[in-house]
Chains A and B, each alone.
Chain A
Amino acid sequence: MKSLAELAAIKERMKDKVAIREGSGAMRVVVGMATCGIAAGARPVLGAFVEEVNKAGLAEKVTVTQTGCIGICQYEPVVEIFEDGKDKVTYVKMTAEKAARVVAEHIKGGKIVEEYTIGNK
């Protein structure tokens, strides 16, 4: 049974981490979560990014956030990746499976998955 004591233990573990995270966040993954994105399947895409980033141990440098309508509804689910000093990368028609590959190859490996980007549609 999930208990509040378990939650208190999480708090204890997080205490040190929070201090490190302040001021970092070199990479930002932004998932479009307006009506268009949600209807097209953005919820599992967001869930996959959150899970994969954490599984890969990248939570310290990558933040996964949500935004409204990006304005290209026909390409939803749309995911934008912002990195300091680099051009924004826009991934379109995303799925949870594609998200896992983007985390492994782009976010972790540094190599953009060109075939999922908007330029290739």
Chain B
Amino acid sequence: MKELSLNILDITQNSITAGASEITIALDEDAAGWLTLTIADNGCGMTEETLRRVRDPFYTTRTTRKVGMGISLLQLAAEQTGGSLTIESVHESVDPVGHGTTLSAVFDTTSIDFPPLGDIIETLCVTIQGHPEIDYVFTHTTPSCTARLATAELRQVLGDVSLGEFEVIEWIRGYLTEQYEAKDETHTNL
């Protein structure tokens, strides 16, 4: 993957496949240059067996072929910078109410091997367009500012108009772009 935002697009598909109704994507940067990516969902979760094997590139739940590279690629990207990847998951058979998966990847953004974050706004637009029925909470926090999107708030305004409508997606794109432009004016390293 050329950009971290493409890994995020990819990993979020796992939450969608897991039947999540709410997905939280958080990017947290601290003053020392560590970036923590957290993707949390309330999907069906993984069994202990699946969780044990999920980092193995030759393990996949899919049936069309025998490899599943998504999590392996993200883990590699994190570890190349000196960071790490952790996954916690509760399968629905263990907890019928509180099930879901939380994945965290930590990156050293000062490392020469840190991939650029890339177009995170496009990743969010594509994800929402593909599955507008899901509620997404996105936050990107740096020591000086925060960009934020919570689709449940938009849904209250939109009523039965889908989040996937072109005009709505364009609004979301503009809404996020403005927040990032405000960031640039404060001269952060984003």
Interface, chain A (partner B; CB < 8 A)? 1-2, 4, 6-8, 10-11, 13-15, 18, 33-36, 38-39, 43-44, 46-47, 50, 54, 59, 64-66, 68-71, 73
Q: Which residues of A contact B160 (CB under 8 A)?
A: 18
Which residue, of B1, B9, B174, has the highest number of chain A Cβ atoms within 10 A?
B9
Give the shortest distance, in Å, between B19 (CB) and chain A (any CB). Answer: 14
Interface CB pairs A-B, < 8 A, 28? A1-B178, A2-B174, A2-B175, A7-B154, A7-B171, A10-B161, A11-B159, A13-B167, A14-B167, A33-B13, A35-B68, A38-B6, A38-B9, A39-B6, A39-B10, A43-B9, A43-B119, A43-B126, A44-B122, A46-B129, A47-B122, A50-B169, A66-B126, A66-B129, A68-B62, A69-B64, A70-B64, A71-B65
B contacts with A: majority SS: helix
A35-B69, A47-B122, A59-B166 given as contacts; is B10 within 8 A of A15 (CB)?
Answer: no
* Cβ B158 vs Cβ A7 within 8 A: yes
Contacts of A69 in B (CB 8 A): 62, 64-65
Kindly list 19 other residue pairs between chains A and B, CB separation below 8 angstroms, not including A18-B161, A64-B129, A73-B65.
A2-B171, A2-B174, A7-B157, A7-B158, A7-B168, A10-B168, A18-B160, A33-B126, A33-B130, A34-B13, A35-B68, A46-B126, A46-B130, A59-B166, A65-B130, A66-B126, A68-B17, A69-B62, A69-B65
Chain B 145-190 residues near chain A, CB threshold 8 A:
153-154, 157-161, 165-169, 171, 174-175, 178
3 closest A-B pairs (Cβ-Cβ)? A66-B130, A2-B175, A54-B166
Q: How far is the CB of A68 from chain B (nearest CB, A)?
A: 7
Tell me the bound Cα distance from A46 to B166 in angstroms: 13
A34 to B130, CA, bound (A): 12
B131 to chain A: which residues have CB within 8 Å? 66
> Interface residues of B, CB < 8 Å — how many?
37
Knowing A1-B178, A35-B70, A50-B166, the reply to whether A15 touches B9 (Cβ < 8 A) is no
Query: How far apart are A71's CB and chain B's nearest CB, in angstroms?
Result: 4
Give complex CA distance A34, B9 in Å: 9
Q: For residues 5 through 55 of chain B, which have their beta carbon under 8 Å from a beta carbon of chain A?
A: 6, 9-10, 13, 17
How many A-B contacts if CB must be within 8 Å?
A: 88
Q: Are B129 and A50 within 8 A (Cβ)?
A: yes
Interface residues of B in 49-108 (CB under 8 A from A): 62, 64-65, 68-70, 73
Complex Cα gap A43–B118 (Å): 12
**Residue B142 is within 8 A (CB to CB) of chain A in the complex:** no
The smallest C-beta distance from A103 to any residue of chain B, in angstroms, reads 13
Q: In whole angstroms, how far apart are the Cα atoms of A7 and B64 in the complex?
A: 40
Residue B125 is within 8 A (CB to CB) of chain A in the complex: yes
Query: B64: which A residues are within 8 A, CB to CB?
Result: 68-71
CB-CB under 8 A from B141, the residues of chain A are none
